[in-house]
Structure formats: structure tokens, C-alpha cells
Structure 1
Amino acid sequence: MTKLTPEQQIALKEFGTCFLELPIVIEIFEDFDDLRFNRGYQSDPQCMILTGEAGSGKSFLIQEYRRRVNFSSSSRRSEVPVLITKVSSNKGLDNTLVQILSDLDTFGCHQIKGRIKVDLTKKVVQELVKSKVELLIINEFHDLVKFKNYQERQVIMSALKFISEEANIPIVLVGMPWMEYIINDSEWDSRLRRKKHLSYFSYKAKKDRDHFRELLVGFSKRMSFDSRQILHSKELTRALFAVCRGELRQLKSFLYEAYKMALQNHESTLNKKALAKTFDKLGCKHLERNPFEIEFDEIPIPVFLFPSKYNPDALEEKDEIVPVKFEYIL
């Protein structure tokens, strides 16, 4: 593999970490800002639910918000305005509470695993208040509530309610779309008034294609080539959509590899040939042919049919989630 120059390494890293402020992103950031602001004027903090299929950009979005707020904050290092904690798969409430303490860099958090739940919950409240947390974001929340019976879910939701009220902190629950239907808690219905969903991009209608092209234009502008990019041309737009099926993470991952290959080969732009080589390198299990090497009308268009579903009766882990379903049209 050809080594990259220091300048090329910087350019590649800037692209790999770039963040595009799409309209839905701006709306969600405004919601987060409102939640933090309102806590100073309400006795019962508002909360929020943010859903999206795998790869829709949920994790990258919340990490970017945390980075902006915590980086710009003039507070001391011990203060954490925005805290993100991630639920480990198949772990329970106690593990999640311990993870919150760990994310707060609370020393000795491993020593409190054996305590009863009410003590652990109170400890979380104390540390959140101490660290001046203004917004608690729980990522992959679906992993905390799936395969739990009604009573177990009630315990989880009651604990989070206690933490939110006692620490006066709004909580954002982030996860798969189906998690909303298994929370089923009347006490949280009034709290989760703010709901946002990150959808996959679409190609079927003209406005959807235009929206996807705008995304490609945004990525093009973040590549340091001398020549103007043509990623949003009619042909490449269709081919790139066929590769990613409207999934933001897949698209960015593919473009990153293509960009890296172009830099290594000292290309002046990211052209169709480079994209075709990237496809040959990475492959794509839902496409039989390289979409950058066939005629425009032969490139299959993925159409989103059904969202992912939760299967509470699954006997094996691989059957827990019924994946999203697409059909392919020409």
C-alpha cells in the first residue's frame, strides 16, 4: 500500500470525521438545546426519544453534539454538560448504572456493583449532580429493554424516572425504532413528548433524489482534490445509492475508502473508475454487479419496504431482530 503524505493523512482524517449538518440534524440539536435550557425552569425535566435504523447516523450525531457542547463549555474539567452512556448488549439495569458512573470517571465504581439498586441509583444521582450534567443520553437503549418482561421494564423505567427527577436532568433514549413499542410505560408517555427519527435516504421521488444529491455535494466539498467532484451527477448518484441503500454510515464508509485509494494513487479527483475499484475491493452482498461498470438503466434501485422488527419469541440471538427489508427496481 502506498503511504500517504502528512498532508494527505490530515485530509483523510478530516473527511473521516467530517459532520454534515442536515436539516433533521439541526432540528435534533435544537431539541437537545431546549432540553438543557428548560431544566432550569421546570421541576419535571422533559425527556426525549431518538430512533433510527442501524447505520442511520444516531451515534455519530450524539457524539458530535457532545463534542461541541463539552468542548465549548467554559466549565471545569470535572464538569460534564453532556454525558453519553452506552448500554451493553444483554446487560441489566445495574450494569447500565455502573457504566454511567464509569463514564463520569467515578473512582471505585466497580466496588458498588453488589449494593442494592436503590443505593446504586442514588449514587448515580449524586455523581450526575456533582458533575453538573445537563443532558444524559443513553445510547443503544433497546438493548436494555429487549427480552424483559413487563415488571422488569417497569423497574428500569422507574429507576430512570427517579434519576431524571432527583438530578433534574433530561434523558434522551437513543435506539432502534421498535424500542418505542416495548417501553410501554404510562409514566413516561408524558415525559417523552419530543420524538425524532433518523430515516434512511430515499431515491424514489425527485425531492428524495435531490436530497441525496445534496448529501453527496456535502461530502464532495470535504475532499481536498484540486478538480471539482462529480459525485452528484445523475449516474453516480444512482450507483452510490445502490451501494448504500440510503444508509448514511455505509455511504460514508464507501466514500472514505474511495477517497483513500484516490489519494494513494495521486488522483486529481474521485472519478467513476476509482469508485468502481473501491466496489471491487469492498464488495456488496446485496448487489451482484458493480454499479459503476453497468449502464444507468441497469443499476438496481433499492426501495425501503419494511423497518426492522423485534422478535420477543426468538430462541436464538441471531433471530432477535428481523432486519429491514428492501425491494430492488429498475
Structure 2
Amino acid sequence: MTLSERLYIANNVYVLYPRFKEILAAIDDCHHFSNLKDEPECLFLKGETGAGKTTILKSYARNYPRYQTPDGTIVPVLEVTIPSPATVKSVVTKLLWQLGDPAYDKGTISNQTIRLIGLMKDCGVSLVFLDEFQHFIDRDSAKVLKTVSDWLKDLILDTKVPVVLIGLPEAETVFQFNPQLSRRFANRHNLSPFSWEDSGREFRTFLHAVESQLPLIEESALAYEEMALRFYYASDGIVAYVMKLIRYGTHLALKYGQKKLDLNVLANAFEKYVKADKPYKKNPFIDSDFLNEVKDASLYAPSMTMVGATSQKIKLKKKTTRASDILHK
């Protein structure tokens, strides 16, 4: 396998862990059972930046690619990122553009909306993803943009197509100011960062699954408790940071002919891809005392103990069993 092929594998690692599966199943229910109801079943997915919301969107939509027929283009799943600031004009224009309307920005809002409803029917749209739902809140005034939220409610009623809204947690404020829209998005899911509950079992299972896909010769033991804790501290349990560390670390390992991810390459990855966002953190792949900065060490590692006074170092337990033995008993 060439270096380029290995780098491609590293950059396209995808782990379908339980929380992802649960949300994907909920989206699938909205998609395929809405036609059995008077109103389409819609869903709201919230989560912090980097939690994996857009990854879920792309993962689901990948199963429903657009395709050509003698009568035109079929778009089973329509994906759109809500522009900022969100206005009815900007949103309807973006939707028309994604559907291939050559005159996507022409006409009044009413005319554009009528064209959109017709195009969605002609293109066989059966599910709509709207990402960055927090753009329905004006960034400067913090006011909910009620006109565009009312327009969305009407679009759902007119097309009877289920919509999945994706956004930051603060986007939920929109529903407080629009009860009718809120009722249609009562199905809500929160994609929160990993926690360290049960000694980080879920997080370590995720690391183990990621490592199993890496194009490296030797085991890097990412799921071992000490290494997993370094990853957890560096990332705060946020998937995007974990994957940045692993992908760039793998890139360096392959570049320099190393057989596995070691603390040196991971330290470099932290400095390049995480440190700028978390300048207050020590590099946990260099500094073994990083846990001393944590006010409540039990939050990170319930199985680890403080030795003596609080100013003393926190000693990490060494594990000799394999990660797979720990995680898959």
C-alpha cells in the first residue's frame, strides 16, 4: 500500500458508535414514516461545535445520492447550510440553488417559494437537512428571526416533506418564540461530547474502534486508560479534536516511517491543531502533570486517586491488559 493510499485511509476513518447509530435511526424514522402521518415528522439535532453533527448529516445523505433520469435530476435528500444572516430571501435562494434552479435568485419571495415547492416535488425530495439552525437568531441583537421561522413552518406544511434542523444548543431558543414550529420539532436529540463516566468506557471504546481502522503496523494502545485520558483532556471529549489529533498524528507517523502513534507525534499534533483553540491547556502528550490543572480529578478519572495533598502529582494507573480485553469483555 502506498503512502498516499494510507493517508487517504487515515483521513477517511469513520466510526459508527452507539450514539451516532441512535440518531441516524431517528432520522431514518422521520424520513420513511412521515408519509404515514398527516404532518411530516421533523427532528432537531443540537450539539456543540465539533460534536459530529455535520458528520451525521453527511453520513445519512451519502446513502441517498442525487441521480439523473430521462425526466431530470432526482434529489432524495436535500442538504443546505443556512446562510448568515438568515432571511427568507437568502434561505429560499440557497434551497433553489441546491436544486439546480438556473434562476435561483430571481423573482419575489412568493414566486421563489412557489418555484421551490414545485421543484421539490419534481426532484423527488423526501427529506431536507438544514444545517447551522442558529443562524435563525440574529448574531448582533440576539433576537429570533421570526419571519424566516414562520416561513419554514409554512414550507413544511405545503410540501409535507420532513425537515431535520441541525445547530448549536442556543438554536433551541427559536422554538421558545415560535410554538407552532416547536411543536413540529418535538423530536429532539442532543449530541453531547463524550464524558469520562465508567472510567471513560464509551470514549475508550470509540478510540479502540478508530485505531482498528488506522493504516499503521503496530498497536498504538489509544484505548489504554492512561493514553485515553490524555486524549480526553486534550479534546474535552469532542470528536473533532480527537480526530484531528489522530489524523495528523498518523500523517506524521507515516511520513517519518514510524509503526505506531507515540507521544511525540501526538504532542506535535496537539500543538498544531488543538493548542490554538485551548491555549490554557498543557500539552498532555508531553506533560504528565496535566491532571493537576483539573479542579475535580474524579470528573476525568474516578478510578484514579490523589496521592497526599492536593498539590501533589496525580499518578496514573498502569494497565497491562489489552484495550480490546478491557472494552469487549
Residue 274 of structure 1: which of 259, 265, 274 is its match? Answer: 265
Give the whole-Å Cα distance in 1 for the aligned partners of 2:191 and 2:264. Answer: 32
The 2-side partners of 1:181 and 1:289 are apart by 35
Give 1:230 deviation, angstroms: 0.7
**Cα distance, 1:49 vs structure 2:** 0.6
| Cα pair distance change 1:298/1:159, threshold 3 Å | closer
Alignment-derived partner of residue 193 in structure 1:
186
What are the superposed Cα offsets for residues 65-102 of structure 1, whole Å, 9 maximum, x if unpaired? 1012327x897871111111001222412101100111
**Number of the residue aligned with 2:58:** 63
Aligned-partner Cα distance in 2 for 1:84–1:49: 15
Distance 1:302 1:11 in 2: 40
SS of 1:243 mapped into structure 2? helix
Corresponding residue for residue 314 of structure 1: none
| Percent identical | 20
Tell me which amino acid in the other structure corresponds to 2:89.
Answer: D
- Paired residue type of 1:138: L
Please say if residues 76 and 127 of structure 2, whose CA atoms lie closer than 8 Å, have aligned partners that are also in contact: yes
Q: In the alignment, which of 43, 48, 51 is matched to residue 43 of structure 2?
A: 48
Residues 164 and 170, structure 1, Cα contact 8 Å, conserved in 2: yes
Cα distance in structure 1, aligned partners of 2:210 and 2:182: 38
Partner-residue secondary structure (3-state), 2:101: coil
| Residue identity matched to 1:171 | V
Aligned equivalent of 1:142, options 134, 137, 143: 134
Find the residue that maps to 1:173 and give its secondary structure. Answer: strand
**Quick check: 1:124–1:163 contact (8 Å CA) kept in 2?**
no
Q: CA deviation at 1:8?
A: 2.1
Q: Which residue of 1 aligns with 2:309?
A: none
Supply the AA of the counterpart residue of 2:240: R
Deviation at 1:149, TM superposition (A): 4.7
8 Å CA contact retained: 1:241, 1:301: no
Instruction: Find the counterpart in structure 2 of residue 102 from structure 1.
Output: 97
**Residues in 2 aligned to 1:126 and 1:286: alpha-carbon distance in whole angstroms:** 50
Does the 8 Å CA contact 1:242/1:302 hold for their aligned counterparts? Answer: no
In the alignment, is the contact (CA less than 8 A) between 1:243 and 1:287 conserved in 2?
Answer: no
TM-score, scaled relative to structure 1: 0.81
**Cα distance in 2 for residues equivalent to 1:288 and 1:197:** 26
How far off its partner does 1:241 sit?
1.2
1:294 paired to 2:287: yes
Quote the residue 1:129 is aligned against: 121
Answer yes or no: is the 8 Å Cα contact 2:204–2:228 preserved in 1.
Answer: yes
Q: Secondary structure at the match of 1:110?
A: coil
What's the CA shift string for 1:203-231, capped at 9, x where partnerless?
Answer: 2x325x11110111111011111212311
Distance of aligned partners of 1:222 and 1:279 in 2 relative to their CA distance in 1, 3 Å threshold = same
Cα 1:180/1:279, change in 2 over 3 Å = closer
Q: Distance in 2 between matches of 1:228 and 1:289?
A: 26
1:246-280 Cα deviation digits (max 9, x unpaired): 11111111211101000000111112232223334
CA distance 1:160–1:302, shift in 2 (3 Å): farther
Residue in structure 2 matching 1:256, options 230, 241, 247: 247
Distance 1:83 1:288 in 2: 40
Specify whether residues 64 and 87 from structure 1 end up closer, same or farther in structure 2 by C-alpha distance, changes over 3 A only. Answer: same
**Structure 1 position 119 matched with structure 2 position 114:** no
Q: Equivalents in 1 of 2:295, 2:15: separation in Å?
A: 23
* Matches of 1:187 and 1:262, distance apart in 2: 53
CA RMSD of aligned residues (A): 2.5
What is the aligned counterpart of 1:241 among 232, 257, 278?
232
Tell me which of 10, 17, 40 is aligned to 2:12: 17
Q: Is the 8 A contact 1:145 1:183 kept in 2?
A: no
Compare CA radii of gyration and give the structure with the larger one. 2
Aligned residue for 1:32?
A: 27
- Structure 1 residue 123, shift from structure 2 partner: 1.6
Amino acid of the structure 2 residue aligned with 1:183:
F
Q: 1:299 to 1:210 in 2, by over 3 A?
A: farther
Q: Distance in 1 between matches of 2:16 and 2:64?
A: 15
Consecutive unaligned residues of structure 2, counting only runs of 5 or more, are 297-312, 315-329
Structure 2 counterpart of 1:86, one-letter code: T
Check the 8 A contact 1:201/1:212 in 2, yes or no.
yes
Match status 1:181 vs 2:173: yes
Q: 1:80 to 1:301 in 2, by over 3 A?
A: farther
1:78 to 73, 78, 86: 73
Q: Residues 27-66 of structure 1, C-alpha deviation per residue, up to 9 Å, x if partnerless?
A: 1111111112122212211111110011111111101110
Distance 2:214 2:143 in 1: 49
